Amino acid sequence: MLNLAVCVSGGGTNLQAIIDAIDGGSITNTRITAVISNNAGAYALERAKSRGIEAACISPKQFGSREEFNQAFLEKLDSYQPDLVVLAGFLVVLPEMMIKKYKDRIINIHPSLIPSFCGKGYYGLKVHEGALKRGVKVTGATVHFVDEGTDTGPILLQQPVAVEPGDTPETLQRRVMEQAEWKILPKAIDLIANGKVRVEGGKALVSE
């Protein structure tokens, strides 16, 4: 059984997609042991509580320094003994010590086809604003393993989504979530839970 810790900063739509996929059987051998947010007002925490999932908030604002927060955050995460950490819209830069400790056991969902529209400054609507400004015809989402860089870890899954005439950042964001994020994040978790993914030579290899 794969124990998940899901880290979320906002509404938790990707968290809900994971919960629904576990309920529906498209994610197997998996349970969510905890949801952690840096935002006390995150609706994701309510989603977790309503399902009897442990929900915790730990914010940098609670600490005198970033180092203190990093240490407390890692200790909180460790207390849940996760096999896999899922960043589902988590707007906090992970401490390096956490990335090293959980090497190849942290995945992130990013709302573009990496390496496009990713890296520092590209998050939330900013990703879709960038895509529309550039005039791309296809965007999408990427699930990747997390390393010390920003959106630079091994790519696990990608799903393209067409950009349509008249799209706004908001309409494009919604369609990328519905057609890509909510599909490939649960699929990635199921692949990992069933031993079908390995990281080798800086690449994520999938065996169906």
Q: Which residues are catalytic?
A: 110
CA dihedral 66, 67, 71, 73 (to 10 degrees): 10
Mark out the alpha helices in the chain (DSSP H runs): 13-24, 43-50, 66-79, 96-101, 125-134, 169-176, 182-193
Contact 62, 54 (CB under 8 A): no
Burial class, 118, CB count within 10 angstroms (exposed 0-12 / middle 13-18 / buried 19+)? buried
* Backbone phi, psi, residue 123, to 5°: -150, 155
